[in-house]
Amino acid sequence: MTDAGAPPAPSQNAPSSRSVWTRLRPLTPGLIALATVLIFAIDVHFPIGFAPWLPYFLLALPIARLYDPRILLFATAFWSVAIMGEPFLPSHSGESLPLAVFNRSVGIGTLWILTAFLYFDAQGRRARQRSEAKLQAIVEGALDAVVAMDRHGTVVEWNPQAERIFGFSREEAMGKPLVELIVPGDQRAAHIEGLKRYLATGTERMLRQRIEVAALRKNGARFPAELTVIPLMLGKDVLFSSFIRDISERQRAEDALRQTTAFIESLFEHLPDMVFVKDAQDLRFVRFNKAGEALLGYSRSDLLGKNDYDFFPKQEADFFTAKDRETLAGGCLIDIPEEPVQTKDMGVRLLHTKKIPICDDDGTPRYLLGISEDVTERKEAEAELVRARLAAEAASKAKSDFLANMSHEMRTPLNAIMGMADYLARTPLSPQQLALVERCTKASDALLRMIEDLLLTAKAESGTLTLTSEPFVLREIMLECTNLLGTEAQGKGLTVTTHLDPAIPARMKGDPHRFQQVLLNLVRNAIKFTEAGSITVQAKLRAIDDAQCKVQFAVADTGIGIIDELRDRLFERFSQADSRANRHYGGVGLGLAICRQLVDLMGGRIWVESAPGQGSTFSFTIPFGLVQTGMETQEPSTATARGRIFPSTMRESGAKEWHVLLAEDSIESQHVMRLYLSKSPYRLDCADSGTSVVETFKSGRYDLVLMDLHMPDIDGCEATRRIRAWETERDLPRTPIVALTADGFAESRQRSAEAGCDDFLTKPVKMDTVLSTIRRFVTETKPTPPPGRMKSDQAGLLDAELNRMRPKFLQNRRLDIEELQRAVESGNFDQIKLIGHRIKGLAGTYGLHAIGAIGGALEEAAVRRHLEHIRAGITDLRTAVEAAQHSLSSSGHDRSPSPTTQ
């Protein structure tokens, strides 16, 4: 017998008789063999007929219980041979052979019948044992506690998982009331009452379903459990099978999931942006947050289950649906920066929307998540900022244009005044007349500086003041400053000396024009406030490296000095150390303020050291760039055209006339220029517009062009570009062009240079300046003598020319009045502005300043489009022209000339 044929070991729940058979099993083989031998020996010596089957049947009982049924069949066959073979043994006695065979055949048959009963019983028992073992294994291997109790509530089954969950061993639990083991005290009464109700009525209220209850461990700890109780009817008795699961971990996970879900739900609901979810198939809304409800104006119940076509115009719905399908097809995030949407209560809003698909495990899109931010106010704010920036840029440009126009228009009458004074100073005059002319010239110079200071301050305040960076020679700039003011200093008996540190590099990079302005202002101030002594201009090297050098400049005087209390106010606008100084010395108090602005702009610092009666020292530092080795050496911009030879201007020795072309729309300015060049070897041709100067230049041959930058039609810069292009096309030598304008800003200088001009003159311009500029460009066979005093006949010619031109001027103003009225009727403000500009620029030449002021007012009113002011200006202009005409008639100068276009 092998273990393979052994029945399964009985479980701990088998009857006690089974344990007896189990204990006898090791002795059974020997006992059966001994009994078989004894029965055979007795039958041999004392034949018992058919009765031998009975003891063999008794031996079959333990074999059927302890061994495989096949062993029983083998033993029965062995016994049958023994029973049937015994009568044939020689030792057999007492019974005939036939009778013995018959008796033993009956006995063997009886044994096999009984063995068959035992065999089938053993087979059924073993099947039951296997089923019970399988069930027991399932119960013992279950992850849930399996507890059974009888109708009295006593525990009759307690699996290992119940031991682990509750802490009671099987021995401790078996036979104990279940309610006392695992049911909390506050719930025991209800448990007992429910059991009684079921036994009495059979009502299954809490049976055959999963319920969550509180359970008790051996240590008294309560924990959540999931309980299922199933009643089992065993005949008339009942058994309650309970399945109990510890759900502490699950409940903690559910609590965590519930908290996470609540957090996500709260986050979803309280996000300030609209958040929505659509199903991927029909694109119907399945989730919507509060912000979305507030934005669209629809409640959640109105939105859920609907699609875009239920709420929005078809065009918008088509757009939304197309973007949704694009997102689902692409499987990635789509960003829509601007998406207009028609809301219920707030009109059209602009949204910034992001959409992304939500996919299942296999990557198939199930939902579409969208987040939309209402950017309407932000876009409006951005648009407002853009409008504000454009308005600021337009205002800045308008201010710059206004400053340029103001510079042009203020310098134009000054040009006539200073030109005429300069011309008169060259005529034979009495000492008293000469003193008056010189005083007029001095006043004009002061007025010009004041205009420049005011305009420069305005540019600095508007942020339009810029710097250039170009190579220059510091020594030349300093000497030019002292030379320009040397005559003024000598007139007061002052000496001006210049000291330049030899360690300072000869050439450096910076803005020489702005640096010169600072130095001129400080030296001019020193001359103004010094009655006796000297003025010293110094430059010292403070620091130097590979890229730049820092230079400290000082202007020291022996003047009146400054008290400590007033020193801090020196660099403020419209401020002087003593309010009485501007009455004694003149000026508006802008010079030092401009110096500080320019020095700050150049990255330096300015300060003053002074004591009353001991003079003052104004110091400032400026970092200049260094001119690297190998850079192209070029003359500074202040002398760009000096010494340059222009092949187109080379004349043969026998030439007697030099051709100069003047581009100037002001007839009076043309006449002034003709007076300047009347006794020179230069022939002057004039053009009154940008187009005409280009055509005139192409039709003649000119040695030099004086180009006014402010002209009707096209300006001087465009005209210069066209002339340069024409020269390039025909491979002609470059003709020098000098920009001539009342706008002295550095931007205009730069713009003219970029257009192709070779030099730049700022109105008002004097005769010496015009002639010396022409001489720099035109190579002559004979030196032109410098202009000197005019003879009396020349002065008479000038007066006669002016008297002849004044009636023409007034007559043309009458034509301007008619043209102004037509422009008012047609709303042509540009024409009004042009006429006002022309009147303002021309009137000062003839001393008719009231008419010039009216022209300026008309120009400003046209810019502002104030029709009432324009009409009032026309009336004032008519009155002023009539008054000037009456004055001329009274003086006998009215010759009623034919009007000319001016």
CATH code for residues 278-465: 3.30.450.20
Question: Comparing 335 with 486, which gets the higher pLDDT?
Answer: 335
The pLDDT-based confidence of 424 (bands split at 50, 70, 90) is confident
- Contacts of 616 by beta carbon, 8 Å cutoff, 6+ apart: 526, 529, 556, 557, 559, 561, 562, 608, 609, 610
Alpha carbon distance 691, 358 (integer Å) = 70
Mean pLDDT over the full length of the chain:
78
pLDDT exceeds 90 at position 682? no
- Please give the average per-residue pLDDT across 37-51, as a whole number: 64
Alpha carbon distance 295, 301 (integer Å) = 15
> For the domain with range 658-778, which CATH number is right: 3.40.50.720, 3.40.50.300, 3.40.50.2300, 3.60.70.12?
3.40.50.2300
Q: Which of 155, 157, 154, 159 is nearest to 139 (CA)?
A: 159
Same fold, 278-465 and 658-778: no
Q: Which of 498, 457, 506, 456 is nearest to 481 (CA)?
A: 498
pLDDT exceeds 50 at position 14? no
The pLDDT-based confidence of 28 (bands split at 50, 70, 90) is low
Q: How far is CA 403 from the centre of its chain?
A: 36
pLDDT for position 7:
36
pLDDT exceeds 70 at position 831? yes
pLDDT exceeds 50 at position 438? yes
pLDDT for position 552:
95
pLDDT for position 236:
79
Question: Comparing 640 with 325, which gets the higher pLDDT?
Answer: 325
pLDDT exceeds 60 at position 798? no
- Please give the average per-residue pLDDT across 464-479, as a whole number: 83
Pairing outcome for strands 274-279 and 365-374: antiparallel
Kindly compute the dihedral angle of the four CA atoms of residues 527, 529, 535, 538, in this order, to the nearest 10 degrees.
Answer: -100
- Please give the average per-residue pLDDT across 34-54, as a whole number: 66
Question: Comparing 436 with 453, which gets the higher pLDDT?
Answer: 436
Q: How far is CA 407 from the centre of its chain?
A: 41
Share of the chain above pLDDT 90, in %: 11
Beta-bridged to residue 520, according to DSSP, are none
Would you tell me how many other CB atoms lie within 10 Å of the CB of residue 814? 15
Q: What does the pLDDT look like over 197-254, one tens digit per residue?
A: 888 887 777 788 888 888 999 998 999 998 888 888 877 788 888 888 888 888 888 8
pLDDT for position 736:
93
pLDDT for position 899:
41
Residue type (1 letter), 114: L
- Contacts of 255 by beta carbon, 8 Å cutoff, 6+ apart: none
pLDDT for position 830:
82
Alpha carbon distance 369, 373 (integer Å) = 14
pLDDT for position 721:
94
Question: Comparing 539 with 432, which gets the higher pLDDT?
Answer: 539
Of these ranges, 383-397, 491-505, 563-577, the one predicted with the greatest mean pLDDT is: 491-505
Alpha carbon distance 707, 738 (integer Å) = 6
The pLDDT-based confidence of 790 (bands split at 50, 70, 90) is very low
Q: What does the pLDDT look like over 65-76, one tens digit per residue?
A: 777 777 778 777
pLDDT for position 738:
93
- Please give the average per-residue pLDDT across 108-119, as a whole number: 80
DSSP per residue over 422-486, as a string?
A: HHHHTS---HHHHHHHHHHHHHHHHHHHHHHHHHHHHHHHHT------EEEEHHHHHHHHHHHHH
- Please give the average per-residue pLDDT across 25-32, as a whole number: 68
pLDDT exceeds 80 at position 94? no
pLDDT exceeds 90 at position 539? yes
pLDDT for position 620:
94
Alpha carbon distance 463, 457 (integer Å) = 10
Alpha carbon distance 446, 440 (integer Å) = 10
Specify the 3-state DSSP secondary structure of 508: strand
Alpha carbon distance 484, 762 (integer Å) = 16
Q: Which of 447, 535, 546, 452 is nearest to 488 (CA)?
A: 535
pLDDT for position 59:
77
Share of the chain above pLDDT 70, in %: 76
Question: Comparing 91 with 476, which gets the higher pLDDT?
Answer: 476
Q: Give 65-71's long-range contacts (Cβ < 8 A, gap of 24+).
A: 65/21, 65/122, 66/7, 66/21, 66/24, 66/25, 66/28, 67/1, 67/5, 67/6, 68/1, 68/5, 68/6, 68/7, 69/118, 69/119, 69/122, 69/123, 69/126, 70/5, 71/1, 71/5
In this predicted structure, which of 4-8, 184-188, 433-437, 535-539 has the lowest mean pLDDT? 4-8
pLDDT for position 550:
93
- Tell me the C-alpha to C-alpha distance, in Å, between residue 610 and each of 536, 571, 585, 617, 619: 15, 14, 19, 6, 11
Name the residue ranges covered by the structural domains of the chain: 30-87+96-137, 143-252, 278-465, 468-626, 658-778, 804-888
Domain 143-252 CATH assignment equals 3.30.450.20: yes
Rounded to the nearest 10 degrees, what angle do helices 97-141 and 53-66 cross at?
A: 20
pLDDT for position 621:
94
Beta-bridged to residue 740, according to DSSP, are 708, 761
pLDDT for position 458:
67
- Please give the average per-residue pLDDT across 462-476, as a whole number: 79
- Contacts of 293 by beta carbon, 8 Å cutoff, 6+ apart: 299, 300, 303
pLDDT for position 490:
80
Q: Which CATH superfamily is domain 804-888 in?
A: HPT domain (1.20.120.160)
Q: Which of 884, 880, 826 is nearest to 857 (CA)?
A: 880
Question: Comparing 300 with 33, which gets the higher pLDDT?
Answer: 300
Alpha carbon distance 816, 854 (integer Å) = 13
Alpha carbon distance 250, 226 (integer Å) = 10
User: Which helix H or strand E contains 62, and what residues bound it?
Assistant: helix 53-66
In this predicted structure, which of 374-378, 422-426, 483-487, 504-508 has the lowest mean pLDDT? 422-426
Contact predicate 615/557, CB 8 Å: yes
pLDDT for position 185:
85
pLDDT for position 583:
41
pLDDT exceeds 60 at position 784? no
Question: Comparing 884 with 694, which gets the higher pLDDT?
Answer: 694
The pLDDT-based confidence of 472 (bands split at 50, 70, 90) is confident
Q: Which tokens sit at 460? A: 């600095």
Query: Taking CA 349 as the corner, what is the angle to CA 345 and CA 351, rounded to the nearest 5 degrees?
Result: 135
- Contacts of 529 by beta carbon, 8 Å cutoff, 6+ apart: 557, 559, 560, 581, 585, 616
Secondary-structure breakdown of the chain: helix, strand, coil percentages, each rounded to the nearest 5: 55, 20, 30
Q: Which tokens sit at 318? A: 């088509």
Q: What does the pLDDT look like over 647-677, one tens digit per residue?
A: 444 333 344 578 899 998 877 778 878 888 8
Contact predicate 319/312, CB 8 Å: no
Q: Which CATH superfamily is domain 468-626 in?
A: Histidine kinase-like ATPase, C-terminal domain (3.30.565.10)
Question: Comparing 594 with 578, which gets the higher pLDDT?
Answer: 594
The pLDDT-based confidence of 47 (bands split at 50, 70, 90) is low
Of these ranges, 342-356, 574-588, 788-802, the one predicted with the greatest mean pLDDT is: 342-356
Question: Comparing 38 with 94, which gets the higher pLDDT?
Answer: 38
Would you tell me how many other CB atoms lie within 10 Å of the CB of residue 595? 22
- Contacts of 786 by beta carbon, 8 Å cutoff, 6+ apart: 768, 771
- Contacts of 29 by beta carbon, 8 Å cutoff, 6+ apart: 1
- What are the residue ranges of helices labelled H in 537-590? 564-567, 581-584
pTM: 0.40
Side-chain half-sphere exposure of 16, counting CA atoms within 13 A: 0
Q: Give 306-309's long-range contacts (Cβ < 8 A, gap of 24+).
A: 307/278, 307/282, 307/283, 308/283
Specify the 3-state DSSP secondary structure of 222: strand
Burial (CB count <10 Å: 0-12, 13-18, 19+), residue 237: exposed
Alpha carbon distance 62, 75 (integer Å) = 12
Contact predicate 288/265, CB 8 Å: no
